[in-house]
Every structure is written in structure tokens, then in C-alpha cells.
Amino acid sequence: MANVVVVTSGKGGVGKTTSTASLGAALAKTGQNVCVVDFDVGLRNLDLMLGAERRVVYDLINVIQGNAKLAQALIRDKRLDTLSLLPASQTRDKDALTEKGVARVMKQLREKFDWIICDSPAGIERGAILAMRHADTAVIVTNPEISSVRDSDRIIGMLDSKTERAESGGDIEKHLLIARYDASRIARAEMLGVDDVLDILSVPLLGIVPESEEVLRASNLGAPVTLSNPVCAAARAYQDAARRLTGEAVAMSVPRDRRNLFGKLFGGKAA
Amino acid sequence: MSLFRLFRPQASAPVARERLQVLLAHERTFCGRPDLVAKLQEEILEAISKHVSLDAEHIKVTTVRGKTISTLKVDIEIPSETDNLREAG
């Protein structure tokens, strides 16, 4: 049975699109059919993360308005044939997303794929609500930082009230993904730790992704980090998180402070 | 540990944590009512103020969201008598 996942956060810039692409590629690598859907109409970026920006012909809005068939809008990844992208429109705005249209597209996607991963826009408006509307599972991306945690709390409230599952009296499965984790700053108590964030938000942890240059490199290259450098710490964190999403029990690894003794003595960062 | 730790400003993460807990208690919908926590804080303050002089800063109401139940925690700081005397004088 298909599983619809929304990757959401409230706040912008915390790593939703990176996480959507990385989790999507990690799941697709296991042979399951995955579609990543960009709900950020007007500010699409998921196509860039997947290196598919020049292959976009039709988009989600075209499908919603009936100007294109779903199959025409889907872009299959060149590296992984189990991974597809449904891009957002760059020239329209979020008002072009209609409740009925989104429902119809999600229903069609459920028939074709094992996993449908919806990349939510930032904010709490129409685009974000429609991205979470049909989800079975939510991945809440949070940075260990005060404004990100506050916004995540708000989004959790909306997941519990505005989704189809919540409205029908059911429960949406929620997972917390801590991204941009800076072990050395957390060790110095300059940043909220994992326990702080978990205590405050009370959502089970899906994974901890360390702040990493590899993630930036991956976006420069147009490949999810789980494909461009699958052995780096960030990619491993995403791969483990993807396995946990499928229900597998994987031991949680907390990124360590990788500064050497010199760095610790003088407060700098390891090279 | 850094040799310079002593000269650094104090750890700021605990401050962030506490600010968040208080803030979210007020922003969260509690028992289906978005304004309940603020209302409770107001009324608790009113009740205690009849007997002890207090202001809003001395009452901290926080909520913890759990899987099946949520809890409400009320911390009330009552100034010691000498403080009260000083205020009175």
C-alpha cells in the first residue's frame, strides 16, 4: 500500500527540500517506487536538487488544471529508475493549487508508487496545508534552534487538526528529523541539544543529520547526497532515517564532535 | 574543554530551552482551547495575589505534550518575607 509522506517544518531554510530529495533517493535505492512531489508552487527547487531542472515540461499545476496528464508531468531520474519527480510550477502561485485537484493527483499517485513524498513550502498557508492534507506520515524537519523549534510546534498542531487523517478522527504518524546538527556547538551548550528538542516537541526521532559540506556539494551537483556521496555522515543519516520510515529498527547514531584535541583546546573547528 | 571556556559568555542553550517552554505553553492549543494557558495563568495569579504580593513574572505555566496525555505544570515563586518587607517599606 502506498504511503504518502509530507516533509514539513513551518520555517524556511531548515532543509525540507534537501531532506525530501535525500530520503526519496534513499528509499528508491532499495528498489521501491518513489515519487517526490514539489508543492512549493512559484518557488520550486526540488528539480534543482535532483538535477532535473532542464527536463521540466509539465508540472503539478498543469496536471491539476487538466492541461497535462500525470504521466506527462512525471520526470524519471536518470540515475535511479525507481525515482520520479512531479515538479511544481515556477510561473504560478499557490492559489493555483485546488483542494479537489490535489486530492485527484494524490489518488493517482497512490496507484503508481509505493512512496509519495511531498515537499511542503515554508509557512502555514494554503501550499503547506495542501501538502500535508493527504499525508499518512509527516516528517518534521527541525534545526536545533529556537525559531525552528517554535515553528515546528505550530506545524505539529496543524498536522493534528488540518489533515484528512486528523479530521476523520485518525492519527497522522509523526517523525522528527533534526537537520543541520552542529555537534561542537551543542557540546558547548551554544545550541539546543537533541534531548531539548525532543522534550519540547514530544515527537519520536527519525534521525539526526549533521551540518555538512557534502550537502552543499550535492546541491551544487544536482544530486541528492544519498546518491552523490552515500558514505558521508549526512548521507548515512538519511539512509538510516529512510530505513526507519519503512519500519525497520535502526540504532540511532548521534553525530560526534569531530574537533581534535587542538581544536578543543583553542575552540576552533577541525579541518 | 577549552582553556578559554572561563572567558566565554555562559552557555545559552538552557536559556533558549526555557524561553521555548514558556512560549510554547502559551501558543499551544490546550484541551482544544488556544487561550486556556494564558487564562489559567491570569486566574492563578489573581487568586494568589489576594494573599501574597506577586506579579506575573513569578508564575510560570508550561505544558508538556505527551502521546496520550498532556500535562500542565505551574511554578509559583513566592518571594521570601524579607523581600515583601522591603517592598512594603
- For B9, which residue in chain A has the nearest alpha carbon? A190
Residues 32-51 of B with CB under 8 A from A: none
Beta carbons of B3 and A200 less than 8 Å apart: no
- The low-confidence residues of chain A, meaning pLDDT below 50, are 268-271
Report residue B6's pLDDT band, with 50, 70 and 90 as the boundaries.
Answer: low
Beta carbons of B13 and A149 less than 8 Å apart: no
Beta carbons of B64 and A192 less than 8 Å apart: no
The region, left, alpha or beta by phi > 0 then psi within -120 to 50, assigned to residue B52 is beta
Of all helices (H) and strands (E), which one includes residue A119?
Answer: strand A115-119
Query: What would the DSSP string read from start to end of A30-78?
Result: TT--EEEEE--TTS--HHHHTT-TTS--S-HHHHHTTSS-HHHH-EE-S
**Domain-embedded: residue B64:** yes
Per-residue pLDDT reduced to its tens digit, A102-117 = 999 999 999 999 999 9
> By residue range, what is the domain housing residue A87?
3-266
Residues of B in contact with A200 (CB under 8 A): 17, 20-21, 24
**Domain-embedded: residue B2:** no
**Domain-embedded: residue A197:** yes
Nearest to B13 among A156, A191, A202 (CB): A191
**Domain-embedded: residue A15:** yes
- Which of A65-69, A156-160, B32-36, B74-78 shows the lowest per-residue confidence on average (mean pLDDT)? B32-36
Cell numbers 549533521 correspond to A210
Of all helices (H) and strands (E), which one includes residue A98?
Answer: none
Q: How far is B33 from chain A (nearest CA, A)?
A: 12
Q: Is any Cβ of chain A less than 8 angstroms from the Cβ of B6?
A: no
What domain count does chain B have?
1
Beta carbons of B12 and A200 less than 8 Å apart: no
> By residue range, what is the domain housing residue B75?
14-88
**Domain-embedded: residue B1:** no
Residue B67, pLDDT score: 67
Q: How far apart are CA A271 and CA A32, in angstroms?
A: 38
Residues of A in contact with B18 (CB under 8 A): none
**Domain-embedded: residue A271:** no
Q: How far is B41 from chain A (nearest CA, A)?
A: 20
Separation in Å, CA A203 to CA A19, A158, B32: 18, 14, 19
The three-state secondary structure class of A118 is strand
Residues of B in contact with A154 (CB under 8 A): 27
Residues of A in contact with B13 (CB under 8 A): 186, 189-193, 196
Q: How far apart are CA A248 and CA A260, in angstroms?
A: 34
Per-chain mean pLDDT for chain B: 75
- What is the identity of the amino acid at A25? A
CATH code of the domain covering residue A136: 3.40.50.300
**Domain-embedded: residue A122:** yes
Q: How far apart are CA A11 and CA A143, in angstroms?
A: 10
Q: How far is A11 from chain B (nearest CA, A)?
A: 15
Per-residue pLDDT reduced to its tens digit, B11-27 = 889 999 988 888 887 78
Contact A158, A129 (CB under 8 A): yes
What domain count does chain A have?
1
Residue B78, pLDDT score: 80
Residues of B in contact with A162 (CB under 8 A): none
In this prediction, residues B22-39 reach a mean pLDDT of 77
Is the predicted pLDDT of residue B29 greater than 50, yes or no? yes
Is the predicted pLDDT of residue B88 greater than 60, yes or no? no
Residues 141-180 of A with CB under 8 A from B: 145-146, 149-150, 153-154, 156-157, 161
Residue B81, pLDDT score: 65
Please tell me which residue, A235 or B60, carries the higher pLDDT value. Answer: A235
Mutate to test the interface with B, among A140, A146, A152, A158 (most CBs of B within 10 A): A146
